[in-house]
């Protein structure tokens, strides 16, 4: 098991997965456990997670995400869905418009790190037709898909992406 710093340094987006190697149930369980440990506004966890494993559902999800093949290819996609009403009940409009989205996003980021720590690879898909993804996932009410995380064993070596220097991003007061 890697430490946090090593895990973060090894996390890179993967878009091609081995199609004959499913994610083991114990690894999925560990990833979901870590995702649910993510901080959230008021501890409300104003999100749902849908584990998409079925081949037909993965294919429909890929189509709803502008035909991004990695969603059909990966044996598992975790869909993170914000629940604005849950957050709004405590925090009003700001909870509805921001906190629920943040809760789902933070949980998705934790899931990515957990997947990498478990020896898996993953990506982050945010480009999709929201109405179509809602339909595939069976979202209710005002639930809103925020991120799709394809997970599996890599069929490629991920490319390290360049990062902006900290001096360009950080300002001290």
Provide the percentage of residues in the chain whose pLDDT is more than 90.
84
Which helix (H) or strand (E) segment is 81 a member of? strand 76-82
Q: Give the residue ranges of the chain where pLDDT is below 50.
A: none
- Res 111: pLDDT: 98
pTM of the model: 0.92
- Residue 153: how many CB atoms within 10 A of its CB? 17
- Res 9: pLDDT: 75
- Residue 91: how many CB atoms within 10 A of its CB? 18
Q: Which strands form 121-122's sheet, in the order they lie side by side?
A: 47-52, 76-82, 144-152, 121-122
Ordered structural domains, the chain, with CATH = 19-157 (3.40.109.10)
- Res 140: pLDDT: 94
- Res 1: pLDDT: 53
- Res 90: pLDDT: 98
- Res 10: pLDDT: 75
SS (H, E, C) 46-66: CEEEEEECCHHHHHHHHHHCC
- Res 6: pLDDT: 77
């Amino acid at each position: 098991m890697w430490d946090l710093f090593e895990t973060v340094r090894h996390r890179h987006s993967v878009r091609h997965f081995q199609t004959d190697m499913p994610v083991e149930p114990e690894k999925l369980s560990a990833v979901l456990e870590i995702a649910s440990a993510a901080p959230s506004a008021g501890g409300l966890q104003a999100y749902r997670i849908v584990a998409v494993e079925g081949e037909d559902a993965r294919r429909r999800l890929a189509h709803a995400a502008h035909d991004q093949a990695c969603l059909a290819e990966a044996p598992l996609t975790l869909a993170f869905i914000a629940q604005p009403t849950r957050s709004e009940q405590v925090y009003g409009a700001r909870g509805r418009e921001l906190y629920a989205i943040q809760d789902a996003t933070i949980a998705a980021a934790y899931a990515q790190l957990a997947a990498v720590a478990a020896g898996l690879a993953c990506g982050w898909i945010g480009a999709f037709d929201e109405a179509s993804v809602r339909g595939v996932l069976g979202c209710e009410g005002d639930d809103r898909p925020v991120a799709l995380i394809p997970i599996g064993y890599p069929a490629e070596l991920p490319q390290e992406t360049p990062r902006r220097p900290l001096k360009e991003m950080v300002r001290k007061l």
